[in-house]
Chains A and B, each alone.
Chain A
Amino acid sequence: DSGVTQTPKHLITATGQRVTLRCSPRSGDLSVYWYQQSLDQGLQFLIQYYNGEERAKGNILERFSAQQFPDLHSELNLSSLELGDSALYFCASSLMWAGKETQYFGPGTRLLVL
């Protein structure tokens, strides 16, 4: 158990819909990272927040957005969902943001878009 929690574990929705994925980092960690793992794209970094502020952006679509709240939990919002958005979405957390710290991954949220 990494100490990172993600909810829900599974999500099934239809194309065009909007969903919100939630992540709670390990106690004391200030950074949250979001990743997408799909069959065709592999593992991709989406976005990073540090202490409430966006720190880095990867291959995140404009239909996707994220935020980190004052209590440090983070939410990833996916809108206008397409079949290709079906994937496993991981959240990871680390103490700081500079890459020196180990990232601890949550169990992931499996999203299926029908």
Chain B
Amino acid sequence: AQTVTQSQPEMSVQEAETVTLSCTYDTSENNYYLFWYKQPPSRQMILVIRQEAYKQQNATENRFSVNFQKAAKSFSLKISDSQLGDTAMYFCAFMKLGNNNDMRFGAGTRLTVKP
């Protein structure tokens, strides 16, 4: 079974600085997707970024980028130029390819961006 671990329950960063959120996962699968979702106080789940395991190049979406280390089963999220609106819970998620699209989430990291 796949497990996703986020070892940082809470983090804080000053506005305009950079922060990295950690995520590790355990799987025997070779083909899968990894995601970072953001959940602001409104509780809406918002996709931040996703990474296909077969791609070596790290995904980037504007100020958000990932460091995907497949051998180490690590998938960290870097937020550059942090903004107050980045304050939210961030969930790392794993989904294997195939018929059973069981998505597994980490416990989340609560990020606070301070002015």
Contact = CB atoms under 8 A, between A and B. Distances in A.
Contacts of A105: 37, 44-47
A90 B97 contact: no
Interface string A4-16: 0000000000000
A36 to B, nearest CB: 11
Contact of A90 (B33, B45, B100): B45
Interface stretch (B18-26, B67-75, B103-111): B103-111
Interface in B82-113: 91, 93, 95-108
Interface in B46-92: 46-47, 50, 91
A43 B105 contact: yes
B47 A55 contact: no
Contact of A99 (B44, B46, B47, B95): B95
A2 B105 contact: no
A2 B44 contact: yes
Contact of B101 (A2, A43, A98): A98
A45 B102 contact: yes
Q: Which of A43, A57, A100 has the most CB of B within 10 A?
A: A43
B53 to A, nearest CB: 11
Nearest to A88: B43
Contact of B104 (A45, A56, A100, A108): A45
Contacts of A35: 103
B44 A56 contact: no
Contacts of A44: 105
Given A42-B108, A99-B33, A104 B101 contact: no
Nearest to B31: A99
Contacts of B93: 43
A99 B97 CA distance: 6
Contacts of B47: 102-105
Interface of B: 32-33, 37, 42-47, 50, 91, 93, 95-108
Interface of A: 2, 33, 35, 42-45, 48, 55-58, 88, 90, 92, 97-100, 102-105, 107-108
